[in-house]
Structure 1
Amino acid sequence: MSTATPRELFGGAVSAVLPTTVLDVSDLRQVPDSQEVFLYPESDAFLSVEVLQRVPPEDDAEAARYHFDVLAEENEAIDTEVMDIRALQLEPKKAITSEDVTPSPMFLRGRQRAHKFNQPRANEVEILIALFRIATSKARADVLVSGSIPTESIELVKQDTIKSDFQALVSSFHILDFALFAPAIA
């Protein structure tokens, strides 16, 4: 794992541990309020956290697969594979109310092949997803923590470091203010 430090995300509504070496994309360009994106210098690898509308599948594994498929479509992937999908059991984080507990995520590891920047050859990218599903009486949302690792352009040691960074981000992910999420529809 890289040297890491706790960071506030979404104006302090979430806290998580991130590597000190990543660049906050919002320092470089405009990023939607629903996203936090962090780039690894000198590579196309990144970590991101995105607050999304909760998707229809109630099964968490199917919801994670749905988000993976959406990413593949957005990346115009020509080939995809889900290699692992499983529930993670994380230590519960302290909450203001019994309902406001950061849920344990569904983890998905897959790969996608896509053409990038009009290159003639498709690039293989390993995709890591941790899907936190928010379903309280006050809010419903999906929080998608993802990592994108170009496997052909980054040496294995760096790939392992990024995977460790992703694991630290996910295991430290703590929702502090559930007001971040859209109110539940009655």
Structure 2
Amino acid sequence: MDMSGEGQGEEKSLYGGAMCAFLPPDAKDVSLLRDIPDNQEVFSHACTDQSFIIEIVEFQQVPDQQAAKYHFEDIASSNEAVGPDNCQVECVEQIPLDQTGMHQCSTAWLLSGKQEVTKFNEGVEARNCVNIYLALFRLPQHGTDILITFNDPTQISPLSSSAQQQPGVGSDWTLDQFKAVLQTLRIVDEGLFA
């Protein structure tokens, strides 16, 4: 897997400084707009409906090569995107650890897939087609899985609240920028998992 990415961006402190990563310069911290669970850091694109979500979750007792799919399906269930027409895994690859800053993890995986989801319970007719790239860093010694999700909508329903967004300046985030986030994500203080 080629993890080379566009390195531009700015370093963001995550989880009160216990982690950090370089995010694109137009990444807006969603916690400034609404409540976000303590186990998540959520950043949205300033002009599009794209987002990055960094999430600390309980380590799942499933084989490493199946764990990314497990979490993808869990996200699909939360998004009410279940069923073969609404949720598809396209590819799962192992990420070489020497291409990440996460030297504490045992394995790392990258999944790409698609989901049809609605925002804010807007109903089936307002479903948006979203490419989902999910990276999984496994830390069994801390009983933790770390997920980094890049949500990249490809088709917005005219009935979705996302269709009301005003276009702005700036360009869409790319898969290379997501890979750059994965390369630069670091744990600064392992006390985060205590």
Instruction: Give the TM interval when normalised to the shorter protein.
Output: 0.7 to 0.9
TM-score normalised per structure 2 = 0.79
**Aligned-partner Cα distance in 2 for 1:128–1:152:** 16
Matched-pair identity in %: 31
Q: Which aligned pairs between 1:1-186 and structure 2 lie closer than 5 A?
A: 1=6, 3-57=8-62, 59-78=63-82, 79-91=86-98, 101-116=104-119, 117-118=122-123, 120-136=125-141, 139-153=142-156, 158=171, 161-182=173-194
Opposite residue 91 of structure 2, the aligned amino acid is: D
- Structure 1 residue runs without a partner (length 5+): none
**Aligned-partner Cα distance in 2 for 1:119–1:74:** 14
TM-score normalised per structure 1 = 0.82
Task: Indicate the RMSD between aligned Cα atoms, in angstroms.
Answer: 2.5
**Aligned-partner Cα distance in 2 for 1:56–1:6:** 32
Q: Structure 1 123/177 Cα, relative in aligned 2: closer, same or farther at 3 Å?
A: same
Moved over 6 A (4+): 92-95
How many residues are treated as equivalent by the alignment? Answer: 172
> Is the contact between residue 105 and residue 138 of structure 2 (CA under 8 Å) also seen in structure 1?
no
> Is the contact between residue 93 and residue 102 of structure 1 (CA under 8 Å) also seen in structure 2?
no
Opposite residue 185 of structure 2, the aligned amino acid is: F
Task: Give the deviation of 1:123 after TM superposition.
Answer: 1.8
Task: Give the deviation of 1:121 after TM superposition.
Answer: 4.6
